[in-house]
Amino acid sequence: MIKIHSRLILNKNDLPRKKNNQNLFNSIYFQILMTEIIDMFKT
């Protein structure tokens, strides 16, 4: 989970360069991020 999370943060930092699929990516990113946060609190 942590590895996926850090990779996503890197991708999110790259986003300003490509603004085309931003909305789709952001919603997917947000969903995964929320899932990880919830999982972290469960553990």
Q: Which two tokens stand for residue 40?
A: 């972290």
Question: Which residues have a Cβ under 8 Å from the Cβ of 32 and sit 6 or more positions away?
Answer: 4, 5, 8
Which letter, b or e, does each residue of 6-28 get, where b requires 16 or more Cβ atoms within 10 Å of its Cβ? eebeeeeeeeeeeeeeeeeeeee
Question: Which residues have a Cβ under 8 Å from the Cβ of 22 and sit 6 or more positions away?
Answer: 15
Residue appearing with tokens 């990880």: 36
pLDDT in tens, 1-43: 455 555 555 555 555 555 556 677 778 888 888 888 888 888 7
Tell me if the pTM is above 0.75. no
